Structure 1
Amino acid sequence: MTKPPLRVAIYARFSTDKQRDASIDDQIDSCRDLAAREGWHVVGTYHDRAVSGASMFRPGIEALQRDAKLGKFDVVVAEAMDRLSRKLADIAKFHERMEHQSIKIHTLTEGEVSEMLIGMKGTMNQILLRDIGIKTHRGQKGRVKEGKLAGGNAYGYDVLPGTAVNGKAEHGDRAINRAEAEVVRQIFSDYAHGLSAGKIAEALNNEKIPGPRGGWWGTSTILGNRDRGTGILNNELYAGRLVWNRLHFSKDPDTGKRNSRMNPGDRVTSVPVPHLRIIEDDLWNAVKTRQGAMKTKNTDVPIWDRRRPRFLFSGLMKCGCCGSGFSKVSKDGFGCSAARKKGPAVCTNMAVIKQADLEARVLHALEHHLMDEEAVRIFCEEYAAERNRLQATREAGRADLEKDLASVIRDHKKLVDAIIAGVPAEQVKDRMIELDTRKKTLERQLAAAPARDPIRIHPGMARTYRERIGQLIRGLADAERMNDAKEALRALIEKLELVPVTAEESETGKPGLAIHLHGALASLLRLACGLPVHETTVAGAQTQKAPRVARRGEQNSAQSAGADLQGIDIVNELVLVAGTGFEPVTFRL
């Protein structure tokens, strides 16, 4: 019996946008040639363009790993190990994942990749990666000492074309952009004379002057961070000093997110660049003096208290006109931040809502408008029907896997019987290996496929919700329970959209703000089912710890107000089935 050809996935990558885009095609063509020589069948290609091999958070390599779990290929082919990753830990983990799926790794330069090869070549690649970083850093430092910028451009300057030096193009030269430089001078002058950053940004937006990235000016664009040297007012280049290496960056190995940290002062390089000066020393010093006078920190307040929302709905209020946040604009009123800091060119919503009025209307809605008993009944019916539909789809796939597995087991048994009957084992060896591999693959897929779980949502959840929301609201008046109650109530709200209304549109007959409350569906239903809203919440006078949320295919049960909630993964499953018909509560108050 002819053995079917191995299915091959090809991966290609190049590191920077300075390399040829055709490099990807060249790598794939070379890998196709290898597959043709070996008699393999190419079933897919994956690639990442201008992405560093120092991280596995790349769309191409992630797609390849997803398809590997689905059993779409038997071999991964790449030009070299460093195309897959330059980090020893990453390439070792990638090999482990592929080995778990019974997938081999081949490269044009190293051949079949084994554990020993990973240990040797992976270490060399990681050392090379470190050496590249050191040499790049050294080259940037040399460029900075010559008065050239080693990174991106700053507002107020134009990038000059590279100059040829010893046959190579040298970059990093800048020239002052006269129009933008005048804006920088105006910002420094206005700020030094007492104008706030918000008012400066508003004036620039009213004059239709594009910001550094072409958008609107904002307070943070001007103020930035004094310690990190960010923002218009903190860029020492304007004062004729090029400061480099103030920060260093590292990637979180779990998330791939790039984080920045301050470098010690002895590692920071500062070079005078008088030809790039825009601001005179007197004006620069006046701005620094004002910044120093305004710099105050309340060190008596613990960090965990400083990070708590100051008001009940802080951070949840959004302007219905521009989408910006609402903040405190008076002693007891909230208004659109963008309208006040960026001006009418960005937003014209200058309406103000009193804090007491906002909180009273929202709390009343949470207690009396949400979880209408008839709406809950309809939701329970629709939710159960959708879950059953999805379950039927999953069961159909599971039934197919079970049928295939039974067929493979029967075929394997027939071959064993044939050997017992006298058929030479060599004649059926390849077929038995193929069936054994297929059997293991099907067993893994069945183990991952979820089994059927019961679906029960108690219709009395509306009453449970109303009882618990009342407890939370009462908890706001209790010093011991206030913080927990506040956090639990905030978790029920996705956002509060505040939209200006005219006197004719308003129910009170006066112009003001209508509140569109967008509920957080998963949190609302957790509360309605008697479960904690988040990590800790208030139930009566006690704080309960949230139970572990069941993974797909596991059982998670909770008893509250007579509701038997077996097998319901509220957080995960609702994301799947809550379509447009289940959008929770978006209504006007």
Structure 2
Amino acid sequence: MTAVIYARYSSDSQREASIEGQLRDCKDYAEKNGITVVGTYIDRAYSAKTDDRPEFQHMIKDSAKKIFDVVLVWKLDRFARNRYDAVNYKHQLEKNGVHLVSAMEPISQGPEGIMVESMLIGMAEYYSAELALKVARGERENALQCKYNGGVVPLGFTIGKEDRLYHIDPETAPIVQEIFSRYADGEPAEKIAASLNERGLRTRTGKPFVKNSFFQIFRNRRYIGEYRYKDIVTPGGIPAIVDEDLFNRVQQRFEQNKIAHGRPAKEDVSYLLTTKLFCGKCGTLMGGESGTSHMGNTYYYYKCGNAKRHGKAHCDLKAIRKEPLERFVVETAIKVIFSDEIIERLIDLIMEAQQQENTRLPVLKDQLRDTEKRLANLLEAIEQGILTPTTKQRLDELEARKEALNTSILEEELKKPVLTREWMRFWFEKFRKGDVGSTEHQRQIIDTFVNSVYVFDDRVVLNFNFTDDSKTVTREEVLGSSAVENAPPHPQTIRSGDFL
């Protein structure tokens, strides 16, 4: 089995494990488990809250090349600090046949492991949100003083090393003034960009100018001295590079020349049952599609992948509407899973799984108790005057062993946070009281608790991760009145008779 290691270090915490420490622990885990490490991907000073991690994105793309079997991380919070990203990218890896493994949080592959993983990611998300609040408070204080709060510094400005305030850059500010003046006087943006490039001038990021380079410049009100950070706006908070009259002339011309190109952006639709939904006739995964009715209404639905690729001759299962099916799955999962009895049973399973996963910790604690007992017996013998030439040596050995065992126990406990019953109850309550209408909440319920859904012509079967119970209902019950009230979609590949 081959693996790559993904390591990340965030600049917002000085207490996180170093890149070198993460790599060492991951390599140790790989060696102990017979895994061959074939590469590493490292993002330095990047937060897991952002998708803009170059090496992470490189790794996700490489997973499709079938050159490694496992992505090994130090802890799950190195991979992602929110449940949506964690599930999304983990699905991408699994789709490419790659598994995600945490070196310091060994998690079983069974259904209990799915829930433990979800809880650990929830803890990371909680930590990330708490940290974000602290950072936001500091940034707000900076903003009230018109101080720099991060990001790319606009062309024409520099940031003071001591005061963190905006200052005019005498070398690049004239370039900004020239761009505004020439554009306001009617010169085309392409011509301005070409002349700047001919003189060897570059953008703030060191790239040649293109006409699109000017969009951010023309819209940036910092150039007229206006400090902006989120909802904080302070006119005159920073030194102005151009006057308001010139700025407004540029805005007027910019609006006149602005031409919309292309089609509107495609609507982003989340198909929450992707990787969980199967055709009951042929067993193929079902995928999301959309279609338009003769009235012009857009509908979203799931269709058998076999039928999508090869047509009805290979599988004639009727497509099923997305919204009512997802609603049925979520509402049924809540009814089945979130009873007090089931929750306590699940907590018992997770507690048992945690104990089974960490077999070294109980052994270390037994050894510590034995060492403390031997130490107590030896001290009692000394108090009674029973001394031998080796007594002091033996006492030193036992003290050293006790200290070493305490250190090993602490290290083992730090490797994987123990999920307490209180934390798990809190986690379940968050699910139970969550907004069922929220797409993110629906996604979390489906990804954590739903094992699979099978769609047949006459029924739908729902299977769960943590209980042997399954739920079978007719398609009519799932779709309710929507199947009658709404006309079917008519994409080129779908006829009205294919849809229910």
Question: Which TM-score applies when normalising by structure 2?
Answer: 0.41
- Higher-Rg structure is 1
TM-score (norm 1): 0.36
